[in-house]
């Protein structure tokens, strides 16, 4: 298997704001070409600051960043040319038309006019029929797509999507996910921050969790879910219980749904994970159940556990 | 050099002017015409000639300069303040542009607008007072340099301001008084010696004096002093903006 090429390499990145607030602790991170990387973290964790640092919107306090091998300070032109950014806020020139604002973005990045490309981007994002509308006339979802069109207008190799589906309805969110997948198919590296863990679960190849400016972990999504994911076995009881029977204490069992469910939490990776033991115990003590179901913990639960533990 | 980037900013800014043509061009031209009517034709006809020039004609360079100063500052400050206010500044900061290219786009557009306004006022003045420009190339050079210099100042104000109120503060409290007291309506030689000396501390005196010289070959200060002062303002403005972009003052923090 060939080694993945690095799109973004961050070393010892720190950001301390005037006044002493440390937004980013020293961060080391590598993002590979062509992957979808999801950066998760609660509000104020430092996700946007990290993105802004890479894009040159905030000054670094320390550290080094390279984008496709170009140093973001000494070779800022080449580095920034590779990057497209869709910021979290819907910041647009309200009185400009869609066509003009997208063309403006392309020009800013040093690219000559390419009406055919702009047309294809607008069509792909279902904005073609709005191309002559002023942005202030558009809905929130459309404005969000205009931001994406602006970021794509200069054909970036790396695309930052900072909360791309915040405030967007379910249907549009799903269509945006499809568009992100399509972009990845064209070889674009995508770095995504989101509050919707299901979004990361649906799209990401790798996940990074950031909290209080510190990168807690970076892992392949599937591996992370396997490593940290717990499984639950839920027994629907025939006769509700008031307390967990003493025979079952210490076996990671709890009561739920007003005593009508017994929930057994176990680790699928452990050889002796106690499943047989629990089943035997229930049978021996005549605890009858109508149904059994199992459930894998979601990325959201993993994320919450990690943040709490930190 | 990112010429496409400069062009994009320049065109974007100029298109804003065309969208708001009345506010951008017609309004300053109209208010200057009113000055000509009141001071040039009505009151001016009762005032003696100054250095052999009728009062109405004498005030033309000063009035053009006064409008150009305020327009340059207003255009450039709004041009950079608005993206900061709206949040679209992120795009500018993340684009592969040096600060010189950003300046060329914003200051170039602001200076172009005020230069055009200055020329329109000049032609309009011709309808009210007899006009003569003895050194047209110098006149254009002084006008262009003043537009650029004060657009640089406007750009600095647009970055410094953290609200619309502050955006108006310097133009209202500093630029307008300096323009009025800088010899727009009189020669500083007409002032008592003490006030004449105090007036020399006003940078606008040098701009108006040099500009007026290009019309009538009469100036309050030597031409070389006017040129040196404009060069100094340009250098200081450029140095401040270089520092702003280097440190990220009000842009990157």
Question: Is A78 in contact with B96 (Cβ distance < 8 A)?
Answer: yes
Q: Which residue of A has its CA nearest to B97?
A: A77
Task: Give the position of tokens 């006003």.
Answer: B202
Does any domain span residue B138?
yes
CA angle B212, B216, B221 (to 5 degrees): 50
| Average pLDDT of span B90-110 | 94
User: What's the number of domains chain B is made of?
Assistant: 1
CA atoms within 13 A on the CB side of B95: 31
Question: Is A109 in contact with B11 (Cβ distance < 8 A)?
Answer: no
Query: What is the pLDDT at residue A310?
Result: 64
The percent of residues above 70 in pLDDT, for chain B, comes to 100
pLDDT single digits (tens) B141-162 = 999 999 999 999 999 999 999 8
Instruction: Give the pLDDT band (50/70/90) at residue A52.
Output: very high
Alpha helices, DSSP H, located in chain A: 47-55, 76-81, 98-108, 115-124, 140-152, 170-185, 197-203, 221-228, 275-284, 299-309
Read off the DSSP letter of residue A19.
T
Query: What is the pLDDT at residue B19?
Result: 78
More confident site: A119 or B29? A119
| Domain spans in chain A, listed from the N-terminal domain onward | 6-226, 229-296
From chain B, the residues in CB contact with A97 under 8 A are none
CA angle A199, A155, A128 (to 5 degrees): 75
Query: What is the pLDDT at residue B179?
Result: 84
Distance of CA B155 to the CA centre of its chain: 12
Q: Is A271 helix (H, G, I), strand (E, B) or coil?
A: coil
Cβ under 8 Å to A: B residues 4-33: 4-5, 7-9, 11-12, 15-16, 19
pLDDT single digits (tens) A152-178 = 999 999 999 988 877 677 777 787 888
d(CA A178, CA A172): 10
d(CA A148, CA A86): 6
Nearest partner of B251 among B73, B89, B110, judged by Cα: B89
d(CA B3, CA B29): 32
**Domain at A6-226, CATH class:** alpha beta
> What interhelical angle do B203-216 and B136-160 show, nearest 10?
160
pLDDT single digits (tens) A256-284 = 888 899 888 887 667 777 888 888 888 88
More confident site: A41 or A189? A189
d(CA A212, CA A46): 7
> Is pLDDT above 70 for A207?
yes
> What interhelical angle do B136-160 and B55-86 show, nearest 10?
30
Read off the DSSP letter of residue A269.
T
Smallest Cβ–Cβ distance between B8 and the set A55, A78, A104 belongs to A104
Mean predicted lDDT score pLDDT of chain B: 87
Query: What is the pLDDT at residue A8?
Result: 94
**Domain at A229-296, CATH class:** alpha beta
Q: Is B167 left (phi over 0), alpha (psi -120 to 50) or beta?
A: alpha
Residue B132: both structure tokens together:
């003569």
Return the H-helix or E-strand segment holding B86: helix B55-86
Select the residue from A107, A113, A146 to test the B interface by mutation, using most B Cβ atoms within 10 A.
Answer: A107
Distances (CA, A) of A30 to A36, A61, A203, A208, A210: 12, 19, 18, 10, 14
Nearest partner of A67 among A87, A48, A86, A51, judged by Cα: A51
Closest approach of B52 to chain A, Cα-based (Å): 51
Query: What is the pLDDT at residue B3?
Result: 93
Question: Is B15 in contact with A100 (Cβ distance < 8 A)?
Answer: yes
From chain B, the residues in CB contact with A83 under 8 A are 94
Question: Is B93 in contact with A56 (Cβ distance < 8 A)?
Answer: yes
Query: What is the pLDDT at residue A299?
Result: 66
Q: What are the contacts of A253-259 at 24+ separation with CB within 8 A? A: A253/A278
Does any domain span residue B201?
yes
Read off the DSSP letter of residue A57.
S
Q: Regarding beta strands A6-16 and A62-67, do their DSSP bridges make them parallel or antiparallel, or are they unpaired?
A: antiparallel
Does any domain span residue B12?
yes
> Is pLDDT above 80 for B39?
no
d(CA B197, CA B205): 11
| Average pLDDT of span B20-29 | 76
d(CA B149, CA B140): 14
Query: What is the pLDDT at residue A2?
Result: 66
Nearest partner of A49 among A253, A193, A158, A235, judged by Cα: A193
Q: Quick check: A172 and A148 in contact, CB under 8 A?
A: no
> Is pLDDT above 60 for B250?
yes
Instruction: Encode burial over B107-128: b for 16+ CB neighbours within 10 A, e otherwise.
Output: bbbbbbbbbbbbebbbebbeeb
Q: Quick check: A148 and A164 in contact, CB under 8 A?
A: yes
Residue A147: both structure tokens together:
């931001």
Instruction: Residue count of chain A, please give it.
Output: 310
Distances (CA, A) of A156 to A149, A199, B33, B46: 11, 22, 51, 68
Smallest Cβ–Cβ distance between B253 and the set A55, A59, A89 belongs to A59
> Is pLDDT above 80 for A234?
yes
pLDDT single digits (tens) B101-123 = 999 999 999 999 999 999 988 88
Does any domain span residue B252?
no
Smallest Cβ–Cβ distance between A89 and the set B16, B87, B252 belongs to B87
| Neighbour tally for A132: CB within 10 Å | 9
Mean predicted lDDT score pLDDT of chain A: 86
Q: Phi and psi at residue A196, in whole multiples of 5°?
A: -85, 105
Query: What is the pLDDT at residue A117?
Result: 94
Nearest partner of A215 among A37, A58, A70, judged by Cα: A37
Q: Phi and psi at residue B151, in whole multiples of 5°?
A: -70, -35
| Average pLDDT of span A105-119 | 94
| Average pLDDT of span B52-71 | 86
From chain B, the residues in CB contact with A107 under 8 A are 4-5, 7-8, 11
Q: Which residues of A touch B (CB under 8 A)?
A: 17-18, 52, 55-59, 76-81, 83, 85, 87, 89, 91-96, 100, 103-112, 150
Domain span at B58: 3-247
Nearest partner of A103 among A136, A67, A131, judged by Cα: A131
> Is pLDDT above 80 for B20?
no
Query: What is the pLDDT at residue A86?
Result: 92
Instruction: Give the pLDDT band (50/70/90) at residue A305.
Output: confident
Q: What is the ipTM of this complex?
A: 0.83
Return the H-helix or E-strand segment holding A207: strand A206-211
């Amino acid at each position: 298997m060939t080694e993945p090429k690095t799109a973004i390499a961050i070393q010892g990145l720190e950001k301390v704001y005037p006044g002493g607030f440390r937004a980013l602790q020293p961060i080391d991170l590598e993002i590979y070409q062509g992957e979808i990387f999801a950066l998760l973290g609660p509000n104020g964790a430092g996700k946007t600051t990290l993105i802004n640092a890479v894009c040159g919107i905030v000054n670094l306090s320390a550290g080094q960043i390279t984008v496709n091998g170009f140093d973001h300070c000494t070779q800022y032109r080449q580095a920034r040319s590779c990057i497209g950014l869709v910021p979290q806020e819907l910041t647009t020139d309200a009185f400009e038309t869609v066509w003009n604002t997208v063309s403006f973005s392309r020009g800013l990045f040093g690219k000559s006019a390419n009406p055919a490309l702009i047309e294809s981007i607008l069509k792909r994002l279902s904005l073609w029929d709005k191309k002559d509308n002023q942005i202030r006339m558009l809905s929130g979802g459309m404005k969000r797509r205009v931001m994406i069109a602006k970021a794509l207008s200069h054909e970036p190799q790396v695309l930052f999507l900072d909360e791309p589906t915040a405030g967007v309805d379910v249907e549009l969110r799903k269509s945006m996910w499809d568009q992100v997948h399509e972009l990845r198919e064209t070889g674009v590296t995508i770095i995504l921050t989101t509050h919707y863990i299901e979004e990361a679960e649906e799209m990401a190849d790798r996940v990074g969790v950031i909290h209080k400016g510190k990168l807690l972990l970076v892992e392949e999504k599937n591996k992370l879910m396997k490593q940290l994911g717990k499984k639950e076995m839920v027994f629907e009881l025939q006769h509700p219980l008031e307390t967990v029977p003493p025979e079952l204490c210490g076996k990671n069992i709890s009561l739920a749904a007003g005593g009508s469910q017994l929930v057994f939490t176990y680790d699928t990776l452990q050889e002796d994970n106690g499943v047989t033991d629990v089943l035997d115990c229930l049978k021996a003590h005549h605890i009858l159940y109508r149904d059994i179901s199992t459930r894998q913990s979601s990325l959201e639960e993993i994320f919450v556990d990690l943040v709490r533990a930190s | 050099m990112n010429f496409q980037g400069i062009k994009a900013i320049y065109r974007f800014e100029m298109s804003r002017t065309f969208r708001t043509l009345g506010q951008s061009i017609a309004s300053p031209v109209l208010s200057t015409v009113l000055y000509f009517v009141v001071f040039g034709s009505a009151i001016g006809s009762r005032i003696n000639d100054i250095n052999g020039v009728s009062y109405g004609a004498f005030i033309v360079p000063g009035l053009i300069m006064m409008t150009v100063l305020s327009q340059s500052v207003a255009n450039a400050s709004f041009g950079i303040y608005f993206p900061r206010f709206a949040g679209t500044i992120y795009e500018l900061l993340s684009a592969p542009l040096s600060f010189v290219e950003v300046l060329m786009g914003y200051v170039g557009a602001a200076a172009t607008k005020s230069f055009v306004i200055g020329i329109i006022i000049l032609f309009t003045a011709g309808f009210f007072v007899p006009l003569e420009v003895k050194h047209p190339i110098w006149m254009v050079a002084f006008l262009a340099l003043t537009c650029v210099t004060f657009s640089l100042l406007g750009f600095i104000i647009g970055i410094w301001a953290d609200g619309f109120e502050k955006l108006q503060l310097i133009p209202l409290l500093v630029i307008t008084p300096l323009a009025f007291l800088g010899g727009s309506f009189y020669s500083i030689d007409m002032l008592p010696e003490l006030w004449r000396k105090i007036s020399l501390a006003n940078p606008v005196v040098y701009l108006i004096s040099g500009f007026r010289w290009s019309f009538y070959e009469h100036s309050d200060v030597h031409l070389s002093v006017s040129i040196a002062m404009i060069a100094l303002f340009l250098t200081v403005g450029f140095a401040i903006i270089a520092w702003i972009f280097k440190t990220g003052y009000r842009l990157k923090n």
